[in-house]
Structure 1
Amino acid sequence: MFISEAFAQAAPAAGAQSPFGGGITGMLPFVLLFVVMYFVMIRPQMKRQKEHKAMIEAVAKGDEVVIAGGLLGKVSKLGETFIHVEIATGVEVQVQRSSIVQVLPKGTVK
């Protein structure tokens, strides 16, 4: 008895429409949301990734770099996936190329 009444109250009225309309117009807010998200978040991130990849590929021996951990040093050896960075006289660390955060101007590291 109570369950039937609850279903009857929740049923939509005959001829009533949803607040967003039906069909394609109902999808319009979601499409607009995706377009906005693309231009606000996805596109700038792809641009940053492309710039970072170009920077890593352009690193050469003798360049001064900042590594993700905050270390500054000069590139002493290059490999395909790893590089050796001299952080002090006689002290070298081996890191992945992708850990390079920034290439510094010459003369920054002394």
Structure 2
Amino acid sequence: MTSSILDILQAAAPAAGEPPAWVTFMPFVGMAVIFWFFILRPQMRQQKDQREKINSIKRGDQVLTGGGFLGKVIKVDDQYAEIELAPNVKVKALKSTISDIVPPTGSAPAND
């Protein structure tokens, strides 16, 4: 009876060759670092560039709104931009809904 209890205790004891517990978390730390450098960091940089582009909108720029409207900026303040979509058709849009500033059509394409 004593030998069976000793066998049970020996089987329950941790093996001497096992690595420490912190080593088992290293793959998760590695995945977090990879996730940060390949996904989060570039996305944050892209958002920062978009925010700077939107803040640099000035009168006379041609812009594309989030709804797909293309128009010319008439007036800009802190949060809003007044955009002329067609002659005598003006809308007031949030600056955050402007998706892009369209370059003038008279310029040469970038790949020429």
- The TM-score with structure 1 as length reference comes to 0.77
For the pair shown, which has the larger CA radius of gyration, 1 or 2?
2
2:27 counterpart of 1:29: yes
Distance (Å, rounded) in 2 between the aligned partners of 1:85 and 1:25: 58
Seen in structure 2, the aligned counterparts of structure 1 residues 15 and 58 have a Cα distance that, compared at 3 Å, is same
**Identity across the alignment (%):** 33
User: Which structure 1 residue ranges, 4+ long, deviate > 3 Å from structure 2?
Assistant: none
Query: Which residues of structure 2 form unaligned runs of 5+?
Result: 1-10, 107-112
Give the deviation of 1:22 after TM superposition: 3.4
| Residue 95 of structure 1: aligned partner | 93
Q: What is the aligned residue count?
A: 94
Secondary structure at 1:60 match in 2:
coil
| Residue 5 of structure 1: aligned partner | none
Give the deviation of 1:21 after TM superposition: 4.3
Distance (Å, rounded) in 2 between the aligned partners of 1:68 and 1:81: 15
Q: Tell me the alpha carbon deviations over residues 28-83 of structure 1, each in whole angstroms, 9 at most, x when there is no partner.
A: 01100101111121011101111001101111000000000110000011111011
Matched AA of 1:28 = M
Distance (Å, rounded) in 1 between the aligned partners of 2:60 and 2:79: 17
- The TM-score with structure 2 as length reference comes to 0.76
2:88 counterpart of 1:58: no
Give the deviation of 1:24 after TM superposition: 1.6
| Residue 48 of structure 1: aligned partner | 46
Give the deviation of 1:15 after TM superposition: 4.0
2:79 counterpart of 1:68: no
Query: Which residues of structure 1 form unaligned runs of 5+?
Result: 1-12
Aligned partner of 1:84 among 68, 82, 85: 82
